Chain A
Amino acid sequence: MNKFVVLLAIALVVSTGYTVVTYQEFFGGFTNLHNYSKTPGYVLTGTMLYPNGTLDLQVANEYGPDTYGGFIVLVQVLNSSVVYQWNASQLGTLPKSEISNEYPLHPAHSDGFALVVPLGQNATVVLHMPFSVNPGKYTVRVYDVDGQYSSNGVKFQAQVTVG
């Protein structure tokens, strides 16, 4: 077989391989089809709650469209019921000093209506309750502006322990 045909065969395998492997890798096309780019979704890993009522909300926007960010309109601290929550008007007017972003571009910010977390950004947002909290286990949950607290098989919440 001449060299041209060998190279052509390799190119065919590489090209077709890229197509089918990335189809499975990015979309699970041959097993469980999914598209992470449709609906916003947040991951709260690393969130901490302190006895004085300070919440370090660690929020990463890892799902949804790339051009329009995610809009968080409600943050709740729960045990059996809601201990405290921050609504849209509070989240929409957070001072810049309470938000720190992992990446320098596309920072998370308040826009007057919501806490905006652009796709891919991972921000620490410091929120203060007006009272201290008892030791114990709590759930911290955020709601997207579409009213959901889960999408893409992920719940936008974290378990935290105080004390």
Chain B
Amino acid sequence: MNALYATLLLPLVGVFILAFAGHRRQAKTINLVLCTVTFATALLLALEVFRDGAILSTGKLLYVDGFNVYLILLNAFVGMTTAIFSGPYMEHEAAIGRVDAVRMRLYYSMYQGFLFTMLMALSTNNLGILWVSVEGATLATVLLVSLYRTHESIEAGWKYFIICGVGISQALFGTILVYFAAVKILPPGAEDGLLWTELHRHAADMDAGVLALAFVFLLVGYGTKVGLVPLHNWLPDAHSEGPTPMSAILSGLLLNIALYALVRFKMLVDPALGNHLAGNLMMGFGMLSFSVAGLLLHRQYDIKRMFSYSSIEHMGLMTFAFGIGGPLATFGGLLHMIVHSLTKSAIFITVGHASHIAGTQKMAQIRGLIKTQPFVGWGLMIGTVAIAGFPPFGVFTSEFLLFTATVKSYPWLAPPLVIGLAVAFTGLFRNLQPMVFGSPPADQQPVNANMWPVFIHLALVLWLGIAIPGVLAQWLNQATIMLAGRGVL
């Protein structure tokens, strides 16, 4: 229990410390130490949950079970490794004069603020607080997207703010409708009508009509944040214009949080409706996002935009997986959440180094990375191979599980799935090939790059592809039982 409180309190304290100390030379160390300790407490929390099962805080505000515990751990882990990368990266940005002292304070403070809102969203039991936290995550990052104060970054920030703000408002309306359905069946005077644990117990009694309407609003609302087509316009802009450590966290973690929220609601709506409406909606939007993003990958010129579209594609895939909903697809979806986070944040870290080497984000001008700085070139190559779903990486495992489930339940959707994967693969590789292997410009110099986070992430993804550790498999299986009714192990 204390581990949970510590996991939440540390980043919150960090917000205030770094708001005052963010411009100092030690800021990157403070940031890294805070993130590392947060990861350690998250690890303790995970052990606690593994030993004793789900925990519910006194006051029932926080709830950690098999579904969210591994996401909390993942969040803290990627937060930590990105902090390793973010220190030198932001020093470089400050050295070339792109950010001043005030903005460094803003950056570090909001780095912790962002982690806090995401951990809060994951661990809360109250669906209202879940909404407040997801909205809070937008607010924490919106000024980071426009951190460089260029025309493009301000445009991206404004778009992010307005589209996500308007979108997420729909989710609040959905939440209000769920609460409305809940107060009708819970004993009068009960204040716990928004607690997920309570609602889950009474899910089958809630009014189907209200919940169906609520789910549509929730899908549009949280779907905007997941980046589902056609609500995805903000995503490539926000991910490409902000500082690269932010892109890594936005793509790697924030999208997962929104999807997590959606799946939690699906667990409430399914028993009440007794049909597959929620699943069908998610399958439709997921498939659409997956296909459209795969095609759009071919049209990109900016390296960060390209990988943002790859994120949309993978989020679509996960939404599709949770939409199908059987044990196999759910297990695949849960695993995909982990491997996508790890791979995508590794890629963005590499891309950050690559764009420092080339001095631009335009892919046409990034050339010959493998000659200039082999580690960065290899990092980008292996990262892209992993995200494209090649064996033996973990992305292949989860996509294969999803494919098997699709063939089993919806065979007619298998061809579009395979074609979509192939289209996305070619889209990535046609741009990647010259960037890694082309001939470098004459004066291209290596930069000071720390590639450890990248290789740790990719090694983990490789490990998950070859042999999922028993502990993790147990957790994923528990979560699958909660979501799909029965496990796969």
Q: Decide whether A and B assemble into one complex.
A: no
Interface of A with B (CB < 8 Å)? none
